[in-house]
Structure 1
Amino acid sequence: MLLPFAILTAGALVFFSAAIQHLNTVTANGIAFAFTDRSTPLSREGFAGRAARTLQNNLESAAMFVPPAILLFSNGSEPPLATTAAGAYIATRISFTLAYWTGRNRLRSFFWGLGMASIAVTAALSAQSILT
């Protein structure tokens, strides 16, 4: 039953990424900035930019992974390959996030590819569960 944990992990990564981005913004611009209309755009350089892009990518990843994972789980179908894909998703997305924050681009891209593969497997298994 790794699918529910992977679904929660996807949400937690989005939340944690948003929290890190916000803490970085407050640290760099002061607490008063958090209460403005933010008409002055935030920096997309250095850690601030990587934090923003990490959050965006984690949102996109969750949007691709969570629906088929919920479908598989709600159908009561969790074949061994789905468990493997869910475990891979968790490991690769956490690794992706850490690699992005630390600026390790090759590792980030490697983990992104593995994460996309786990999403594709989960989506294929979900489609198969609907068709059978």
Structure 2
Amino acid sequence: MTATLTFVIYMAILTWLTILVASLIRARGWTFAGTLLAIGNRDNLPAPTALAGRALRTAQNTLENFALFAAIALVAHAAGVDGPKVATGAQIFFWARVAYVPVYYAGITYVRTAVWAVSIVGLVMMISAIL
């Protein structure tokens, strides 16, 4: 397996974790009542706290960006263009996304946008190697 495809797997794991954590924060899954709510139908979720809202938006943004990353990485692989530039772009994208999660959870607005922009640089590197 190539380094780029390895980062696709890592991003899938990171995406799943952000969705899981957002769900647990929203349901307050660390409490008994929250655990019961989390394993149920979630019909009566409590109003989201500020952190729960940021966690949900982090998960949504991660999922949206993962779809773009996976498409680009898979096209590079299918086209046989999986060289160092693609792999470096994948690494930049992944590590920027790892940094993005705690920054967004903490609510650090301008840094969040800067970290997101770094992840986009990784995608652009990958695309430029393909085209």
Pick the TM interval, shorter chain.
Answer: 0.7 to 0.9
SS in 2 for 1:27: coil
Contact 1:7–1:69 (CA<8 Å) still a contact in 2?
yes
Q: Which amino acid in structure 2 is aligned with residue 27 of structure 1?
A: W
Asked if 2 retains the 8 angstrom alpha-carbon contact of 1:65 and 1:123, the reply is: no
Report the counterpart of residue 30 of structure 1 in structure 2. 34
Q: Which residue of structure 2 lines up, in the alignment, with residue 7 of structure 1?
A: 8
Q: Percent identity?
A: 21
Deviation at 1:121, TM superposition (A): 2.7
Where 2:42 maps in the other structure, the secondary structure is coil
Q: Distance in 2 between matches of 1:101 and 1:91?
A: 16
TM-superposition CA deviations, 1:56-110 (whole Å, max 9, x none): 0000000111011012123332232212211101110000112112222222111
TM-score (norm 2): 0.82
| Alignment RMSD | 2.0
In the TM superposition, what are the counterparts of 1:23-102 in structure 2 within 5 Å? 23-24=24-25, 25=27, 26-27=29-30, 30-40=34-44, 43-102=47-106
Q: Unpaired segments of 5 or more residues in structure 2? A: none
Cα 1:44/1:109, change in 2 over 3 Å: farther
**Contact 2:81/2:129, CA 8 A, preserved across alignment:** no
What's the offset of the Cα at 1:40?
4.0
Structure 1 position 123 matched with structure 2 position 124:
no
How many pairs align? Answer: 127
Deviates more, 1:37-46 or 1:112-121: 37-46
2:17 counterpart SS class: helix
